Chain A
Amino acid sequence: MDTRKLFALLALMALLLPLMSACAKPTPEPTVEATVEATEEATEEATVEATEEATEEPTEEPAPEPDYDTDIYGYLEDVDPSGQEVTYWYQHTRSREELMLAMIDDFNRTNEWGITVVGESQGGYGDLFQNIIAGIPANQLPEMAVAYQNQAATYATQDVLVALDPYVASEKWGYTQAELDDFFPVALTADYLPQFGGRYGWPPYKSMEVMYYNEDWLVELGYDGPPETWEEFGEMACAAIENPFSGQTGEGPVLGYEYSVDASRFATFVFSRGGDIISEDGSEYVFNSDAGIATMSFWQELVEKGCAAQATEKYGDQTDFGNGRSLFTVSSISGLPYYGQAVSEGADFTWSVNPPPYGSDRSAPRMNIYGASQSIMTSTPEQQLAVWVFIKWLSEPEQQARWATSTGYFATRASAVALMQDYIDENPTYAKAFEFMKLDSGVESPVAGYDECRAAIAEMLTVILDGGAVQEEMDAAIEVCNEYLEEAAP
């Protein structure tokens, strides 16, 4: 019996030993720290050389110390990205992924530094976010990733993202002022993260929320154009359910406005009334303002009257719009090709897009222009620079035009428009929407914890649109969102 116990103990120890060694502090991998050491050594060597040179040529002034952290970036003007291989995680699938892979292949073949980018699709935006969140504690991250601004903020709180300001400002690798002026201001504004006081993403393309409308049906209803204000929108939506479209096809009820429950839709409506989701400094959520209350009261009333209803299947709003069963939907402009397809396969009517209506106290629309940007994950200065070189290449007017004309997204540089002229001429709806880029716009919350808050907003929408008390539910959602904001803050 004792012998058995002895062997049981020995067997247990044999089992625990590998586990204990696995739990032991791992030997630090020679990544960032090693790079820092290497950089310091290189800096010392460079300093010695510079001193020697300075001794030889006493008239040359020493270079000013850079205003960024050289431990992270190295000395940018001296960092060499040659021969680096970087992994890029994105959310594109199917035809968009094929295009992205083709572009990556072009970059890999043509860039003068021999940089190799390896593109890897992670599924949708949600999958991509989850994979990165899971990769952070496991130290299994790509060198580059697509990220919405709030997601970038979440990554930045974990110190796995680098600010792009030093790259943008670099004389050797950055942009000139003229080049920066070529970008639409709204595109560059969004990637500034107030919690960190820096830019953590770069936008080669953008999207926006627009209102899709059935032009033929509006004519049948006696209107000569799409609604400009929310009051007109409500009137037309309710008129539609009394007078179904003559060319409707398929099954289902007639709807004035068909919506999907989404925080970005709510943000769009709040922006259109002059409100905001979060305060400018990102310190608190403010969507229970007058604009927010007016938005939800109006929306709830539309639902109660039967003039608006939720889509009950995935992309049901597109299907019903295409079948001539819903007069309006509000959705991302990136859905433009899919709406076109739904209409041509459905009731085949004349349709178009417009900015979402605005509040009666405003005189012009205010858009929700958004879109994920490209972010650089912390790696070595050489790899980070290699990623920046690729991002800059993706942001060239030629690449922007290539991407935009194939996907329906918007280029972020004015000079790209000239390269897209044929496409713009062939696609008047896209051309019309492109003009909206110049309109006033709100920015969805670029703070850590907004992803969690979006779920709370979506929950709030379902409750209110099901008859819940507007003020009470909005206050409750604000409380939850602010709790997440505080919890996720850097």
Chain B
Amino acid sequence: MAATKQPVDVGVQHSLFSGQGGRHLREALQAYLFLLPGTFILFVFSLFPIGYALYISFHKWRIRKGDFIGLGNYLKALGTPQDAIFTLGGLGLLAGSWMLWRKIKSEEPVKITLLKALFAFLLIVGGLGFVLGFPQMLVNGDEDLFTALLITSYYSLGTVPFQIVLSFLLATVLFQNIRGKTTWRILYFLPYVTVTVASAAVWQSIYEPRRGLLNLFLVTLGMPAENVPKWLFEATPIGVYLGDLVGLSLPDWAGGPSLALVSVIIYNIWTYVGYNAVIYLAGLGNIPHSLYEAATIDGANRWEILRDITIPLVSPTTYFLVMMGVLGTFRAFNHIYVMTSVVGPIGAPRGTTMTTSMLIWKNFWSGNRFGYASALAFVLTGVLMSLTWVQKRISEGRVFYG
């Protein structure tokens, strides 16, 4: 019996994997088999936790799962459904109008009038929706969330541009044939590879108001001991603080981030400048030398070479570093937590270092509000995705890939 069945099986196998279709099938099978382990890991360790966090965010979840509350946690964060629809819908329409405006330029004249009308419609409706919804969202939503987003924006804006400029300058210097080039590169890269908690703790002691190295240095320079900055303990906005020093009075709202947050920003710049410089060095190395030679022959000076050749040709690196920098600053937690832990409760002083990540942590661990913290995490994810999209759109036509 077995001997009679065997040829039949072979025949089936033969028909399935033979010929053009069979070969494609075999290749597809092999491909999916190779993909299977990676896909499995992706599901288990990435997608499943994200899905589970989303599931948690739809529940009243305090330590254990409670009632299903749908979008309750999201509405607690963002205000009433109307506020959310008006604000988010308005932003969506504004984004749509922006994309349309970029498209109009390349369209035929016949279509332009129609598209312009559509653009105007989207702009007006989107703008109106946002203007009507956002103030109400601020009133009805979680004030802590909006404050945290503002603080995070300060943190990001205070960090990324300085990191980019300093690291580019540093890379430009390190790219020259200077003595001990490799040693300098290693030295500047060291802060990045140092354990964050350890380096943050060291910086915390440097900033210590009474015995910290920084203030001892300022006193050595002649600053009266009673006037030295309190750094991480100073909740006063930096603008107000500096204004006071020169006799200028600024309102708190116009003062920007607190001196405490600025102290953390300085630490973060120190950490990433070396890393960014190394990435820039790779970008600089990819610029063909012939371009510099041609420019020199044409009589371009150093500034013109930098402006017209170097900066445009490292723009992909700049775009990458800006994107990673913004994402990193919006997710920053460890060093802020370590540096400010001695000052007081999380977000101290006076909540001025309460970035969105810190707020999520506070709600999750300090408040045991697992459901709400998960919802906040998804709100932050939405913000990050929007920012990435905006950056991508802004960079289009500005990043030169050679």
Decide if A and B are genuine partners.
yes
**Partner-B contacts on A (CB < 8 A):** 3-4, 7-8, 10-11, 14-16, 19, 130, 133, 136-137, 154, 157-158, 251-253, 261, 310, 312-314, 316, 451-452, 455, 458-459, 461-463, 466, 484, 487-488
Q: Would you call B40 an interface residue if the criterion is a C-beta within 8 Å of the partner chain's C-beta atoms?
A: yes
Complex interface bits, B217-232 against A, C-beta within 8 A gives 1, otherwise 0: 0000000010000100
Given contacts A458-B344, A487-B369, 20 further A-B contacts (CB under 8 A): A3-B24, A3-B28, A15-B39, A15-B40, A133-B63, A136-B63, A137-B63, A137-B65, A253-B225, A261-B345, A312-B209, A313-B342, A452-B367, A455-B346, A459-B347, A459-B351, A461-B344, A462-B348, A462-B349, A466-B349
Complex contact B345–A459 (CB within 8 A):
yes
Q: Would you call B205 an interface residue if the criterion is a C-beta within 8 Å of the partner chain's C-beta atoms?
A: yes
By a CB distance below 8 angstroms, the chain A residues around B367 are: 452, 484
Q: Would you call B83 an interface residue if the criterion is a C-beta within 8 Å of the partner chain's C-beta atoms?
A: no
Complex contact A451–B344 (CB within 8 A):
no
Complex contact B350–A463 (CB within 8 A):
yes
By a CB distance below 8 angstroms, the chain A residues around B21 are: 3
Complex CA distance for A123 and B362, rounded to whole angstroms: 20
Q: How far is the CB of B32 from chain A (nearest CB, A)?
A: 5
Can you report 6 A-B residue pairs in the complex whose CB atoms are below 8 A from each other?
A158-B64, A452-B366, A455-B346, A459-B345, A459-B348, A484-B367
Determine chain A's interface SS by DSSP, over half rule. Answer: helix
Complex contact B233–A488 (CB within 8 A):
no
Central interface residue in A11, A154, A261, A484, by most chain B CB within 10 Å:
A11
Complex contact B368–A154 (CB within 8 A):
yes
Q: How far is the CB of B29 from chain A (nearest CB, A)?
A: 6
Q: How far is the CB of B343 from chain A (nearest CB, A)?
A: 8
Complex contact B43–A19 (CB within 8 A):
yes
**Considering the complex of A and B, which 8 residue pairs feature the smallest CB-CB distances, nearest first?**
A458-B345, A252-B210, A462-B344, A261-B344, A4-B28, A11-B32, A455-B345, A3-B25
Complex contact A455–B366 (CB within 8 A):
yes
Complex CA distance for A4 and B43, rounded to whole angstroms: 20
Q: How far is the CB of A241 from chain B (nearest CB, A)?
A: 12
Complex contact A14–B44 (CB within 8 A):
no
Complex CA distance for A487 and B367, rounded to whole angstroms: 10
By a CB distance below 8 angstroms, the chain B residues around A130 are: 365
Q: Would you call B48 an interface residue if the criterion is a C-beta within 8 Å of the partner chain's C-beta atoms?
A: yes
By a CB distance below 8 angstroms, the chain A residues around B208 are: 312-313
Within 8 A of A (CB), among B327-377: 342-351, 362, 365-369
By a CB distance below 8 angstroms, the chain B residues around A14 are: 36
By a CB distance below 8 angstroms, the chain A residues around B362 are: 455
Q: Would you call B148 an interface residue if the criterion is a C-beta within 8 Å of the partner chain's C-beta atoms?
A: no
Central interface residue in A19, A462, A466, by most chain B CB within 10 Å:
A462
Complex CA distance for A14 and B40, rounded to whole angstroms: 9
Complex contact A11–B35 (CB within 8 A):
yes
Q: How far is the CB of B232 from chain A (nearest CB, A)?
A: 8
Complex contact A158–B63 (CB within 8 A):
yes
By a CB distance below 8 angstroms, the chain A residues around B368 are: 133, 154, 452, 488
By a CB distance below 8 angstroms, the chain B residues around A19 are: 43-44, 48
Complex CA distance for A14 and B225, rounded to whole angstroms: 69
Complex CA distance for A466 and B260, rounded to whole angstroms: 14
By a CB distance below 8 angstroms, the chain A residues around B24 are: 3-4
Q: How far is the CB of B274 from chain A (nearest CB, A)?
A: 28
